[in-house]
Amino acid sequence: MNLSRSTAVALAAIAMTGPLLSTAGPAAARSASAWNCTSLSGSSDSTSDKGGRDVWAECHKGNEWVRAYFRAYKETLELEDHHGSDPNSVVAYLTVAGVGTARFEGAGLRDRSYDEGKAVSVKVCTSDSSTKVCHTQGGGRT
């Protein structure tokens, strides 16, 4: 088989980097699998907003955790970040039926305002990097 020099160089580069690329997947999977994103997530009737339901999504790994918590009463979204050295790496998405999805970054409390009776879900992510771990929880209501 007669290959041009540039084709041969390209094939050699692919052959050399192939094993490196194939090992990235399992490492990322191991990192993601260390996070538990289901046992502490949920929704419940609001104690202060009749007909409202609070909803929260949380991921934790050892002493590290991130949480997005929508409270129906006063319609606030609180982001908590206890992951790594940057307390503002948490990313969350708040979806309200008929309104859409809003993106938030960094720990803190956000005041929101929506019509009553809308379905709500929250999604929390450890960061916005390619190795982020995310969890979505539905069941909320404004």
Please write the tens of the pLDDT for every residue from 38-63.
Answer: 878 899 999 999 999 999 999 999 99
Alpha helical stretches, state H, the chain = 5-33
Q: What distance in Å separates the CA atoms of residue 97 and residue 113, rounded to the nearest whole number?
A: 13
- For residue 135, give the nearest of 71, 86, 89, 90 by alpha carbon: 90
Q: What distance in Å separates the CA atoms of residue 138 and residue 75, rounded to the nearest whole number?
A: 15
Q: What distance in Å separates the CA atoms of residue 66 and residue 96, rounded to the nearest whole number?
A: 21
pLDDT < 70: residue spans in the chain: 1-33, 86-88
This prediction has a pTM of: 0.75
Q: Per-domain residue ranges for the chain?
A: 1-33, 42-141
- For residue 44, give the nearest of 136, 139, 109 by alpha carbon: 139
Q: What distance in Å separates the CA atoms of residue 89 and residue 81, rounded to the nearest whole number?
A: 7
User: pLDDT (tens digit, 9 = 90+) per residue, 85-98?
Assistant: 766 689 999 999 99
Mean pLDDT, the chain, integer:
83
Q: Give bridge partners of residue 108 from the DSSP assignment.
A: 79
What pLDDT shows up at residue 32?
59
